Amino acid sequence: MALAALSAAWVVHSELKRYGYNPELASTMVFAAAVGGLVGARLLFIVEEWNNFLIAPLNYILTGAGFHLVRRVFGGVAAVSWVVKKNIFMACRRHIVAPALALAYGVGRIGCHVAGDGDWGIITKCALGRRLYERDCRVGRSNNRCALSAGVRVHPTPDLRIY
């Protein structure tokens, strides 16, 4: 996550300079996106799992699960919009942030894949299929189980998403 944030900061800094805004806003924007993304992901995870959350709230607040990209984007976008609402025109915000978001997503995906934390596609017989190893199915992942057994070839979803 740190490498993704640093790469995003570099791109946002360059884009702010290119559009004539203060490039020092880059660190504030990236920090807001990181914190807002984590908080937004946690809140949306709790909302999605509301019935289970009511039964055991601490299990959902303190878990490492629920930090899916889509949830992080909502919180990150809201936080960045709130931080720069007076400094940057709305249309320019999108042009400044879009390349950084794409790069950070790719870097984050590589990190997930290297950590063995990726989401795997459907079972395939394709030559591009990736064979799951025991380390890919170990207990302790965000879903606490592996739906597929080791040795099965699956569509390499994480590999394709980084492009």
149 or 153: which leads in pLDDT: 153
CA atoms within 13 A of residue 151's CA, in its CB half-sphere:
1
Range with lowest mean pLDDT among 13-22, 43-52, 75-84, 85-94: 85-94
Predicted local distance difference test score (pLDDT) of residue 130? 74
As a whole number of angstroms, the distance between CA 40 and CA 38 comes to: 5
Structure token pair of residue 145 = 């189980």
Q: Is 50 helix (H, G, I), strand (E, B) or coil?
A: helix
The single-letter DSSP state of residue 135 is G
Predicted local distance difference test score (pLDDT) of residue 18? 93
Q: Is 154 helix (H, G, I), strand (E, B) or coil?
A: strand
Predicted confidence band of residue 146 (pLDDT cuts 50, 70, 90): low
Q: Give residue-wise pLDDT tens across range 17-73.
A: 999 999 988 999 999 988 998 888 888 888 888 888 899 888 888 877 777 666 777
Contact call for residues 37 and 76 (beta carbons, < 8 A)? yes
As a whole number of angstroms, the distance between CA 33 and CA 40 comes to: 10
Predicted confidence band of residue 9 (pLDDT cuts 50, 70, 90): very high
Q: Give residue-wise pLDDT tens across range 108-142.
A: 777 776 766 656 667 788 877 777 665 555 434 44
Domain ranges of the chain: 2-115, 117-163
Chain centroid, CA 107 distance in Å: 10
Predicted local distance difference test score (pLDDT) of residue 6? 92
- Within the chain, how many helices (H) and strands (E) appear? 7, 2
Predicted local distance difference test score (pLDDT) of residue 140? 40
CA nearest neighbour of 159 among 99, 118, 100: 118
